[in-house]
Amino acid sequence: MNSPDDAIAADVDRTGWSCITIHDIAPPFAYTVGLMKTYDHPELILFGRPDDDYSLLADLVVAISGGSRLDTVATCDTSLSSRATGRVRLAC
């Protein structure tokens, strides 16, 4: 039987990263696994956006895979995807 860790490792091997979502506590959050291994980039964590946390992180990973660095604290207006618009505080 495959463990959750095996599924995460398979995601990282296949796509370069995985997203872990924790929605049963307040505030809900999601974080990446694999960015350091794949892109030599700090992992990302996102709090309080359970409806679009995966899509926001996925859009940030696309930027990272294209060479962007998000390893400073910043607040920015963003429209990273059609569902994810508004102010996002990036703290890596």
Residue 25 has pLDDT above 80, yes or no: yes
Percent of all residues in the chain with a pLDDT value above 70, rounded to a whole number: 75
Instruction: For residue range 53-69, list pLDDT tens digits in order.
Output: 999 999 999 989 999 88
What average pLDDT does the structure give for the chain?
A: 82
Q: Looking at residue 92, what is its pLDDT?
A: 46
Q: Looking at residue 73, what is its pLDDT?
A: 56
Instruction: For residue range 27-50, list pLDDT tens digits in order.
Output: 999 999 999 999 999 999 988 888
Closest CA to 33 of 23, 25, 42: 42
Q: What is the mean pLDDT of residues 4-20?
A: 94
Strand pairing class (45-47; 74-79): unpaired
Residue 79 has pLDDT above 70, yes or no: no
Cis peptide before 28 (omega within 30 of 0): no
